[in-house]
Amino acid sequence: MSGCKDSRSLVLIVDTSGSMRRDSLLDEVKTSMKKILKDYGPGDRVFLVSFDAESQVVLDRTIADPAKDLSELHTAIDGLEAKGRWTDLVHALDTSLTHVSRLRQEGRADRTTMVLYTDGRHDPPPTRKSIAGQGAFDQLLVKYYSDYRQGDSWFIFYVELDEPEPGLKEFLSKTGSGVVVGREALRSEESFARLPVNWTLPAVAAMLGLFLLGIWFLLIAPRLRGVSLVPAQGGLDPSRAPNQIRLDSFRKGSFRRLLGLGSASDIEITVGGSRVDVSVDPKGRYFLDVPKGAGVKVDGAPVTGKTEIRVGQKLEFGRSGYVFARDRKK
């Protein structure tokens, strides 16, 4: 039964350090794990791992008789106590991934879900503090992910109950095989840890969506074409401003900024020591996005945040003055 093609594996990894006693955290986690177990049945394999200074497999069970086996899993979950002093996240992942690697050798790791519950940062006991921070998590990358193929192995849910662990978030980002969820996920009516039969399908759909969005930006979206910042005459010191600045000569912003809602084209420029974003929306309206303290004025009035600008308005960047103008036709 354990070799059934459609069987799945679940690894529940629970922080049992003393801090999990506060605010009924451990009780909420126990309820959450029991909810997740409702999705598992005959042929599925479940590991329950607890950790603080050390990590241990509390129970390893392949479900044959759901009533009996799930009852034993519930009993093991109820028996967990939060009384440890340390929070060794790396050791917990190392212990769990050792078992997952064994499942992979058996050809079953492609449908393995790992759920890690913790309320704190990686804080190993003194005997294991020689490698701390991101370096400790990077060792796991080398040990377990050297031949990892995204989409055909395990997936990790990191349940961030309180203080975030940056190293673990970076670890999941590098592997591309996990997601961070908050404490509110524990209160969901449905199990947050459900995965589709092949979790690469949503990823492929997302990539297709981003590709189509990129085509829209490249071929359809309005651009910052035909407009420039022209040095103002009088009032300010035109000698401090360079010649006409053609906005369409700048590269567009990072891919992250391309995804900003309402902004079809977005560039970042530095003028007179002030760094601002200039954008045009799908309706052809132009905007400045000015950080606090940048010293930017529009028609003599100081501005911060996102401000619409119109052709003919005077823009001041420190002591450099410009007029927002359409390019002259040659």
Cα separation values, 165 from 19, 117, 133, 159, 185, Å: 15, 12, 9, 11, 18
Specify the residue for token string 């031949």.
147
Give the pLDDT score at 215.
57
Whole-model pTM: value is 0.59
Give the pLDDT score at 262.
35
Cα 293 to its chain centre, rounded Å, is 30
Name residues of the chain where pLDDT drops below 70.
Answer: 1-6, 108-110, 130-134, 147-153, 189-190, 194-226, 233-244, 246-267, 271-273, 327-330
Q: How many CB atoms lie within 10 A of CB 72?
A: 14
Domains and CATH numbers, the chain: 9-206 (3.40.50.410), 227-326 (2.60.200)
Give the pLDDT score at 252.
45
**Mind giving me the DSSP string for 112-170?**
EEEEEEESS--B--GGG-SS-THHHHHHHHHHHSTT--TTSS-EEEEEE-SS--HHHHH
Give the pLDDT score at 312.
85
* Strands ordered across the beta sheet of 274-280: 265-271, 274-280, 286-290, 305-309
Residue 24 is given by DSSP the state G
pLDDT tens digits, 93-139: 999 999 888 887 777 655 789 999 999 899 999 887 766 666 788 88
